[in-house]
Amino acid sequence: MKLPTLQALVPPSMRGYRRAYLWPDIVAGLTLAAVAIPEVMGYTSIARTPLATGLYTILLPLALFALLGASRTLVVGGDSATAAVLAAGLIVLGTSVSGGPGSERWVALCALTALITGLFLAVARILRLGMLGDFLSGPALIGLFTGIGIQVASGQIPALLGVKATGSTWLEQQWGWMTALPTLSWSTLAFGGATIAIILVGKLFAPRLPGSLIAVVGLLIVSIVSGAASHGVAVIGTVTGGLPSLSFPGGVTWADAITVTPVAFSCTLLVIAQSAATARKVAMAAGERADVNRDLVGLSAANIAAAFSGTFVVNGSPTKTQILEQARGRTQVANLVVVGVTALVLTFATGVLADLPHAVLAGVVLMIGVSLIDIRGLRTLARRTRWEFTVAIATMLAAFLVSITAAIIAAVALSLLDVIVRQYRTPGDVLVPKQGGGYTYDPAHPGVQSEPGLIVFRYGGDLFFANANAFIDKVEDVVSAAKDPVRWLILDTSSISHVDYSASANVVDLLHYLDQRGIHVAFARPAPTMMATLRHYGLTGPLKDVQVFADLDTAIAAFRAAPLPTTSPTTEQNGKP
């Protein structure tokens, strides 16, 4: 048995490590910890779990991803989007939770969801399904995260005002806090407003400073000194300290596993899409290639670790990763520094958090939610195409008016529909002479031709059941409306790599249609995969008279050298098969 080399034992994210990286990684890790720790504490208000569980998301999960993932700087931990999917999914499913959100059973179900998410990610790695993240288009993701941002931010308003949250739907919740305004706590609002002000001022004038940490520490001191709890300000109370105990989620059953599986699947799609996009972005910025499937190993292990340490689903965080990049972190050693700082906080500092007002965490989370609302992206889509803007708006509305799970389903469905619509609307072009010599492609329209008696037609995409008739209609239109009777039709098939079974039958119908009108058909620059597919469907017979040319010049030369027909092509070229 051959023993692994020392190099093989080094985590992929740390191979080629240099001594010069150590100090930048330490500084970047400390900078990231200052931002990440108050943020993940805030995410517990979204996931509706105890405060310590937020810290658990950047303890073992981040450590395991650092050791098993491929990305050098992707930061894995609690995330507002997955926390929102998790909480909303469990509530929508009507999961029976004795004690409600925040109870031991709720936490166990959150951990169970993380476990199943981890298993889904492991299956995705085995089957090399990192491309699943590509099924969420850019417009769908803009709409999804904007909708999540609206839900997350608006969900913090009751805690900021010190009023009771009511209502099951988003609209009912907004009406609930509006009608409760006469009972708002001005002391609570002062803490929440101060939190938002500190973060905003920090972003405007000192963006490198950890505004969230400054707000949490500063306002915690104010709360302790002023005795805020005695003035009606709700505080978080006792926080369980120490490192988490490792155990299987307690009290769950197979029936619970089946119940939370849809939520776990939604989380899996979001984790793959968000983590893969972030990993690719930072890898390209560093001149490296992302290994999404290897990252799935780390993400799977991170979520399984989250389950056994009693916390919720973890994800690759774009914002935290960006912070690590800005702080000049070079490798996952920086994230291991975050793990160490988090362990120290859990061991020694949780006792002082008891007087932290809920409104402070609500302010932190509200600003995180606002950062997810992509107004610039929506404006760009509105200027670009109406369809993509519609996709984004529909996904956004589904996220906070229906449910985030429904929004993810809508995002996938609309993304796939977007692909089909684009393929259906694939343009057709005709090769036409340029002034001064040579040829260029112009959009196909009635009356256009390449030469008298010749049309060179190019279709810009694959042929499948949904666009095959549109392809035929475009060919028929240019053939029937040509200025001169068409003798040759050269199909430039360089953009067609695949033809499905339904489309192949349509191709045969088109060949018969053209043959009946005395039009000779040739293929130019065909992709080998297209010809292999046509032969696979048994079209050798219908294609026996179709000439195949490797390039357009040879095809056009063959047309010019062909003898003129003894009888002109039928003038009834505008007929239909």
Q: In order along the chain (577 residues), what is the average pLDDT of each group of 10 residues?
A: 55 77 89 89 91 94 93 90 88 62 89 96 87 75 89 92 86 91 93 95 88 92 92 88 90 91 91 85 77 90 96 91 84 93 92 91 91 92 88 90 81 81 84 82 88 92 86 90 92 88 86 88 88 76 81 92 69 44
H/E run at residue 27: helix 22-47
Please give the pLDDT value at position 296: 93
Q: What value does the CA radius of gyration of the chain take, rounded to a whole number of Å?
A: 30
Please give the pLDDT value at position 7: 55
CA distances from 193 to 86, 116, 330, 396, 508 (A): 28, 39, 36, 27, 70
CA-based nearest residue to 300, from 103, 459, 117: 117
Please give the pLDDT value at position 571: 45
Please give the pLDDT value at position 115: 97
Q: pTM here?
A: 0.77
DSSP string, 108-145: HHHHHHHHHHHHHHHHHHHTT-GGGGGGS-HHHHHHHH
Q: What single-letter DSSP state applies at residue 348?
A: I
Rounded distance, CA 240 to CA 48, Å? 15
Please give the pLDDT value at position 382: 92
One-letter amino acid at 127 equals L
Please give the pLDDT value at position 122: 95
Cα dihedral 134/137/141/147 (nearest 10): -130
Residue 397 region, left (φ>0) first, then alpha (ψ -120 to 50), else beta?
alpha
Residue 102 region, left (φ>0) first, then alpha (ψ -120 to 50), else beta?
left
* Measured CA angle at 423 (ends 418, 426), to 5 deg: 125
CA-based nearest residue to 312, from 91, 88, 48: 48
Question: Taken in order 206, 212, 216, 217, is the CA torsion positive or negative?
Answer: negative
Please give the pLDDT value at position 577: 41
Please give the pLDDT value at position 574: 44
Please give the pLDDT value at position 397: 93
The first and second tokens of residue 82, run together, are 């997955």
Q: What single-letter DSSP state applies at residue 12?
A: G
Per domain, the residue ranges of the chain are 6-349+356-419, 426-561
CATH H-level superfamily of 426-561:
STAS domain (3.30.750.24)
Please give the pLDDT value at position 35: 86
The 3-state DSSP class for residue 339 equals: helix
Please give the pLDDT value at position 545: 78
Q: Which residues contact 48 (CB under 8 A, 6 or more apart)?
A: 87, 101, 102, 106
Question: Taken in order 131, 137, 142, 146, is the CA torsion positive or negative?
Answer: negative
